Structure 1
Amino acid sequence: MGESSDGRERILTVGVAVARSGRLANLGDPLDFVTTLLRPRLAGLGPTGYRIRLAARDTRSSAEGARQAVEELTRDEDAKIIVTLAGTQVLPAVADACEAIGVPCLSSTFPWQVYYYGRGADAAHPFTWTYHFCWGLEDIAATFADLWERADGGGREAVGCLWNDGPQGTWSRHPEHGFAPAARARGHHLVDPAPYREPGADLKGHISAFREAGVGIVTSAATGRDLGRFRSQAAEAGWQPRLITCSRWLAYPPSVTGAGGRPAHADVATLVYWTPAHPYRSSLDGMTAAGLAEAYEQGTGRQWLQPLGLAYALFEVVIHALTTADDPSERRCVADALGRTRLDTIAGPLDWTAGPVPNIATVALAGGQWQRGTRHDYELAVVTGGQVDGLAVDGDLVTT
């Protein structure tokens, strides 16, 4: 099974669907970097008698580009499995195309409820080919509630919701699977004005509603640009919240300038799912979280990014699945191997046998805040350890 009839080594191609052009190109940087880093290191990894090869296609930051990338990877490259990260429209399009074609897909950086229920799965109709690992909306709510309560001295003051009318806002509000019911279950009162449409040119209505309701804390899933616009308009109105928590785009270092010339993310609290301080090693080569972050900074000259750890873990899981599959040349066998995977990775322990629903493994969260740094202008400080065992807190939560 490992060699062809003429004795030549067989090749297993892993397809990489990654944004390298268009508006999401920067979001593709972590996966592109890890692909380049691992490509020459794959010798000797994977099942005996096979050589693992990586082939990438640009999703062009669009759903149509994503579907075309999947078609090319399966048709032209004979990919046995496809990996992808990021993009509200792009990631589901990659996964849906894989499900339709019948090729295994592994993805991350998308709350699992949005990935699973948002693509039409349920207990009676799970996916056949597509697998995912990430945190859930309830985990975001628990992390943010920890931060709100710390800012409020353990109290339960009103929290204003800066949510759009797109998937981020819709799923945040979802009455069964969303962020809102989990936050309310912790005893928090949410003030949720009418949703805004991206880009949020005029957010003064939200500011007025928050001010009238006595809101001191704002939570959001806004883009960096909309968050900057909100903060600028709030400053113009003579109002500012004591704390902002935001779950979107903040995995990347601040760049968009807001009020007073500060980045929109300055002092904004967010999710922490991977940092150089996370106590994890790669199952492939022993790479530490700190070592991966250092490799990125030395190789690119840019600040490390949270999605790096998840991008590296994608390949750890894929190689494990290829190695443990009954026949790694058969896509069905590879998909079945994904479904029974339990693996300690550079992104933490991942277990597809434990749920919470079929085809999903979860990632632990801590709480962080973008604060003035020593090596970079702004750095992500860990201010609550949350669900991550062994992760040290290295900063205090700053409120206005």
Structure 2
Amino acid sequence: MQARRRLPVKLIQYDDSSDPSKATALAEQLILQDKVHILIVPPGPPVVSIPVNQVAERYKVPCLSDGFLESWWGAGPYKYCWTGSLPWFVTPIPENDFRAGKRGYSALFNFLDFTDLFRDQLSKKIALFATNDADGRTFYELASKIAQDAGYTVIGVEKSLGLYAPGTVDFTSIIREWKKGEADVLWGMSIGVDFATMWRQAASLGWKPKMAMDGRALKNYDDVAAIGGDLATGLADPFQAWHPSLPYKSFYGGRTCADLADEWTRETGKAWTEMLTTYSWAETACRAIEIAGSLDPEKINQAFPNIDFMSISGRVKIIPEYHSTPSLFHVIQWVKTDKPWVWEAEIVWCADPSIKPTHDIIFPLP
């Protein structure tokens, strides 16, 4: 975009209620009626994001989407769909990229590396808990392999113990097998309400692992608060991409992470949320238009492989062969505070020393 030319940015937002059919219809509405130049699909279940991606491909409109690389990329091929800050499970980052070989960019190795910090204090027996959907099945398969290769035992892996149908309300038989198998670590990729149900039942059955991590269910305050009592203390999300303490600034205007969190709280009265990482997705969309120097969808799409800038979520550099930009992830644990929202996510560990902890690791779980 030429320096003398300025374009107003209009954000049109719809709520798909996590309904795939509604999401598909709204994506078509955005393209055909609202005439958008780019679609942005924020973090959510693949059953919603993938159909929207298919709409974008059909109408040849650039789209920034969400998902885990292995399951998202496997639903392609894609020409017009790209990702914001997509978690890569285990796929190696190409050698010519600045992130190559660095463990903090691999979501599943964050599970393993954080667990390994306390390896000598564990039974080395792991319980896996995941939804029976595209992301959950991919997680279960890859996590079990990584854990076993590292010398851990996955309880009930031969019968996919812990792979459950979303909306399940009784997890007692699964929990009893975890307890009988002496699992003292939980790795999960579940849904917030389901995790809360399982965790409350685990407490009532007397199963309390020393460490519990979930990469999807423990991202949002409301899901954590709904667990009840003090049961959420120390629960961990092993791949969070954003936190108010991170040392980044927005590309447009220089807003800091702390500034963004404060603005969110002032305007909503609520605690900050990791979903604020999608601010960088809007920055990425604007960068694509700037690089393209045009509002033509084809030119915008051709600009994505050239994106490389510092955003409020860190460096965004698209890897063209995967249409993706892996993020640097840190591990958070939930702790109680004296603030109005009671619970807050604190950084306790990151493979990259540039990301500083904001709280000591809570181990074992109280």
Asked whether the equivalents of residues 128 and 162 of structure 2 are also in contact (C-alpha less than 8 Å), the reply is no
Larger deviation, residues 387-396 vs 215-224: 387-396
Larger deviation, residues 199-208 vs 335-344: 199-208
Q: Which of 205, 214, 231 is 2:182 aligned to? A: 214
Q: Does 1:135 align with 2:87?
A: yes
Q: Which residue of 2 aligns with 1:383?
A: 348
Q: Which residue of 1 aligns with 2:168?
A: 200
CA distance in 2, matches of 1:79, 1:47: 23
CA distance in 2, matches of 1:60, 1:380: 25
Q: Which of 306, 310, 319 is 1:344 aligned to? A: 310
How far apart are residue 360 of structure 1 and its match?
0.9
Give the RMSD, CA atoms, in angstroms.
2.3
CA distance in 2, matches of 1:358, 1:136: 10
How far apart are residue 341 of structure 1 and its match?
0.8
CA distance in 2, matches of 1:288, 1:384: 21
Q: Which residue of 1 aligns with 2:137?
A: 170
Distance 1:49 1:378, change over 3 A: closer
> Secondary structure, in 3 states, of the residue corresponding to 2:38?
strand
> Secondary structure, in 3 states, of the residue corresponding to 1:171?
helix
Asked whether the equivalents of residues 131 and 191 of structure 2 are also in contact (C-alpha less than 8 Å), the reply is no
Q: Which residue of 2 aligns with 1:190?
A: 154
How far apart are residue 279 of structure 1 and its match?
0.8
Once the two structures are aligned, what percentage of the paired residues are identical? 19
Structure 2 spans left out of the alignment, 5+ residues: 91-105
Q: Does 1:56 align with 2:13?
A: yes
Asked whether the equivalents of residues 228 and 257 of structure 1 are also in contact (C-alpha less than 8 Å), the reply is yes
Q: Which residue of 2 aligns with 1:25?
A: none
Distance 1:53 1:381, change over 3 A: closer
Asked whether the equivalents of residues 136 and 189 of structure 2 are also in contact (C-alpha less than 8 Å), the reply is yes
How far apart are residue 228 of structure 1 and its match?
2.2
How far apart are residue 57 of structure 1 and its match?
3.0
Q: Does 1:372 align with 2:336?
A: yes
What TM-score, normalized by structure 1, do the two folds share? 0.79
Q: Which of 317, 320, 323 is 1:359 aligned to? A: 323
Q: Which residue of 1 aligns with 2:247?
A: 279
Q: Which amino acid counterpart does residue 120 of structure 1 have in structure 2?
A: G
Q: Does 1:99 align with 2:64?
A: no
Q: Which amino acid counterpart does residue 82 of structure 2 have in structure 1?
A: Y
Distance 1:107 1:391, change over 3 A: farther
CA distance in 1, matches of 2:236, 2:37: 39
How far apart are residue 346 of structure 1 and its match?
0.4
How far apart are residue 307 of structure 1 and its match?
1.3
Aligned length: 340
> Secondary structure, in 3 states, of the residue corresponding to 1:220?
strand
Asked whether the equivalents of residues 140 and 163 of structure 2 are also in contact (C-alpha less than 8 Å), the reply is no
CA distance in 2, matches of 1:220, 1:382: 19
CA distance in 2, matches of 1:304, 1:341: 27
> Secondary structure, in 3 states, of the residue corresponding to 1:162?
strand
Asked whether the equivalents of residues 366 and 388 of structure 1 are also in contact (C-alpha less than 8 Å), the reply is no
Q: Can you list the C-alpha shifts for 1:281-316, whole angstroms capped at 9, x where unaligned?
A: 11111011110000000110000001102x111111
Give the alignment of 1:38-53 within 5 angstroms: 48-53=5-10
Give the alignment of 1:106-145 within 5 angstroms: 106-108=64-66, 110-117=67-74, 119-121=75-77, 127-133=78-84, 134-138=86-90, 139-145=106-112
Asked whether the equivalents of residues 47 and 322 of structure 1 are also in contact (C-alpha less than 8 Å), the reply is no
Q: Can you list the C-alpha shifts for 1:28-66, whole angstroms capped at 9, x where unaligned?
A: xxxxxxxxxxxxxxxxxx881533322233324211111
Q: Can you list the C-alpha shifts for 1:368-397, whole angstroms capped at 9, x where unaligned?
A: 111122434121121112246343343222
Q: Which amino acid counterpart does residue 329 of structure 1 have in structure 2?
A: L
CA distance in 2, matches of 1:130, 1:331: 12
Q: Which amino acid counterpart does residue 130 of structure 1 have in structure 2?
A: C
Distance 1:189 1:341, change over 3 A: same
Distance 1:60 1:210, change over 3 A: closer
Q: Which residue of 2 aligns with 1:290?
A: 258
CA distance in 1, matches of 2:19, 2:347: 33
Give the alignment of 1:3-22 within 5 angstroms: none
Q: Which amino acid counterpart does residue 241 of structure 1 have in structure 2?
A: P
Distance 1:154 1:365, change over 3 A: farther
Distance 1:55 1:225, change over 3 A: closer
Q: Which residue of 2 aligns with 1:34?
A: none
